[in-house]
Amino acid sequence: MAPAATDVRAMFDRIAGRYDTANRVMSVGLDVLWRRRAMRCLLDGLEPSPWVLDLGAGTLGGAVEIMRQRPDAHVVAADFARTMLAAGRRKPGAVAVALHAADVHRLPYRDGAFAAAFSGFCVRNLRDLALALAELRRVVRPGGRLAVLEFFRPLRPRPFWDGLWTTRMLPLLGWATSGDRAAYRYLPESIQGFVTRAEFEVQLRAVGFAEVRGQNFFPGGIASLVEAR
């Protein structure tokens, strides 16, 4: 279970200025490739000038990638950590993104406002996953697309990835890069306390996404992509 929302918000605001560097180091740059692959699945074949939501947008890595792949898109980036959004605003291409400090549990958008939505490494931190997914279903139009990139709890233990890399090495690398030990001790704890990919797919179907499929990314299924519509 994720900590209280205010604690998570404070944690992300603390590390906002070093968040991207820490991610590059800890993933050996793979997080950029994962995001690009997720966006290709999300955006391919969308109509001209689609409205796309980046939920839990953080420092706008996802939003900027949407703009790179679909310059005609209207991109809205929502996150409750204002300092993360402010850090992302400085990125090339981010000037065209609309920034909203918003809570995923009560999104300030009309029903069916978006043709597609993306969420990268966000849903694991939510205090009420079922409520947040229902809000996503509400703001994505019927037949619209959702892509969720996340670290899900593995179905079975993976000695190297779970026992050594995620539990021991990642917190050390995150601490060394960001200077914030607590934030990166939280990472493996949040993964172990989260749902499996299969359980997450069941929850998406429960809130009304009719077509749901998932895939694990190399290496070792560390990151997974779930697509729904």
Q: What is the pLDDT of residue 24?
A: 76
Give me the domains of the chain, ranges plus CATH numbers. Answer: 5-154+194-228 (3.40.50.150)
Q: What is the pLDDT of residue 97?
A: 97
Q: What CA–CA distance (Å, rounded) separates 28 from 9?
A: 25
H runs (alpha helix) in the chain: 5-15, 19-27, 30-43, 61-69, 82-88, 129-139, 170-178, 181-192, 197-206
For residue 161, CA distances in Å to 28, 63, 191 come to 14, 28, 12
Element (H, E) at 216: strand 212-217
Q: pLDDT band at 176, cuts 50/70/90? A: confident
Residues 6+ apart with CB under 8 A from 45: none
More confident residue, 38 or 6: 38
Average pLDDT for 27-41:
89
Q: pLDDT band at 1, cuts 50/70/90? A: very low
Contact 91, 64 (CB under 8 A): yes
Average pLDDT for 120-133:
95
More confident residue, 153 or 168: 153
pLDDT digits (tens, 9 = 90+) for 52-80: 999 999 999 999 999 999 999 999 999 99
pLDDT digits (tens, 9 = 90+) for 134-146: 999 999 999 999 9
Q: pLDDT band at 50, cuts 50/70/90? A: very high
Q: What CA–CA distance (Å, rounded) separates 203 from 71?
A: 32
Classify 9 in phi/psi space as left (phi over 0), alpha (psi -120 to 50) or beta. Answer: alpha
pLDDT above 90: residue 5: no
Q: What CA–CA distance (Å, rounded) separates 81 from 122?
A: 12
Q: What is the pLDDT of residue 15?
A: 81
Q: What CA–CA distance (Å, rounded) separates 88 from 41?
A: 23
Token code pair at residue 33? 């490739």
